[in-house]
């Protein structure tokens, strides 16, 4: 089975390698430029032509370096985003692994719509799907949309969670022969959550309340069947 945040951590490492490659390219490009400058201009003795070519080559170097610098900053920003996401998923994985009672935690589960951060199979509560978010700021709701500091986030978190929820429900029905209810939650590890009601059946909570959320879930009549067949469900973990 995968560990919490595994895919996100791999994405962070990929962008880190890309950023290092950009840095190496800058150093190599600068060294190559001065080598070419020395070779190419070595036989030119007319000051006007020499100065003109130097200016042209410097402009070319500046353009290339500017592009590489912007690319490096963008890559670093994306790398930081994945790093924060991985830390959030890893910390949430630790919390979910410590929930009371008989539970099986699956992390970083691949679905048709991307990855599901966490799935809990509980002997009494049934199935719990958790999507972890590392965003800072105040989390509010406007209709069926979540807002962070009054602005739309980069994606529709409610839609993402519901898509994974429906996929998981169908997967269990196909592979375990059970038509089950899925408890869905979006958990913010850093944000201040002011949302009190479910949005389209999805709970939105702060990470420190995950145990309280779990304990308040009603017992599920099919939970025992799911627990007995948990070996089949472990196939979700890859």
Locate tokens 């007995």: which residue? 228
Q: For the segment 93-143, what is each residue's pLDDT rounded down to a tens digit? A: 889 988 988 999 999 898 888 889 999 999 999 999 999 999 999 999 999
Contacts of 25 (CB under 8 A, 6+ apart): 68
Contact 96, 132 (CB under 8 A): no
**Per-residue pLDDT, 87:** 85
**Per-residue pLDDT, 79:** 67
Q: For the segment 173-203, what is each residue's pLDDT rounded down to a tens digit? A: 998 889 999 999 999 999 999 999 999 999 9
Give the CA angle between residues 112, 217, 123 to the nearest 5°: 75
CA distance 119 to 137: 26
CB-based burial, 41-78: b 16+ in 10 Å, e otherwise: eeeeeeeeeeeeeeeebeeebeeeeeebeeebeebeeb
Query: How many Cα atoms within 13 Å fall on the side-chain side of residue 144?
Result: 9
Is this structure's pTM higher than 0.95? Answer: no
**Token duo for residue 39:** 């070779």
Contact 203, 155 (CB under 8 A): no
**Per-residue pLDDT, 201:** 95
**Per-residue pLDDT, 132:** 95
Task: Report which of 126, 135, 72, 84 is spatially closest to residue 103, judged by C-alpha positions.
Answer: 126
Average pLDDT over residues 87-96: 88
Question: What is the widest separation between alpha-carbon atoms in the chain?
Answer: 91
Backbone angles phi, psi at 156, to 5 degrees: -80, 100
Q: For the segment 134-155, what is each residue's pLDDT rounded down to a tens digit? A: 999 999 999 999 999 999 998 9
């Amino acid at each position: 089975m995968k560990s919490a945040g595994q895919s996100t951590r791999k994405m962070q490492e990929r962008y880190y390698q890309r950023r290092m490659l950009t840095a190496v390219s800058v150093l190599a490009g600068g060294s190559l430029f001065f080598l070419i400058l020395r070779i190419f201009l070595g036989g030119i003795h007319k000051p006007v032509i020499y100065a003109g070519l130097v200016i042209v080559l410097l402009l070319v170097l500046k353009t290339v370096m500017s592009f590489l610098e912007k690319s490096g900053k963008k890559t670093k920003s994306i790398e930081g985003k994945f790093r924060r996401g991985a830390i959030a998923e890893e910390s949430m994985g630790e919390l979910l692994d410590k929930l009371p009672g008989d539970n099986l935690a699956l992390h970083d589960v691949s679905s048709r719509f991307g990855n599901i951060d966490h799935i809990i199979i509980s002997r009494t509560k049934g199935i719990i799907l958790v999507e972890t978010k590392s965003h800072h700021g105040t989390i509010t709701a406007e209709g069926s949309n979540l807002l962070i500091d009054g602005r739309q986030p980069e994606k529709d978190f409610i839609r993402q969670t519901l898509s994974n929820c429906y996929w998981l429900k169908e997967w269990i029905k196909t592979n375990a022969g059970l038509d089950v209810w899925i408890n869905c939650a979006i958990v913010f590890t850093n944000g201040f959550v002011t949302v009190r009601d479910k949005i389209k059946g999805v709970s939105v909570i702060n990470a420190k309340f995950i145990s309280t959320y779990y304990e308040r879930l009603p017992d599920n009549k099919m939970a025992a069947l799911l627990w007995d067949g948990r070996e089949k469900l472990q196939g979700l973990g890859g």
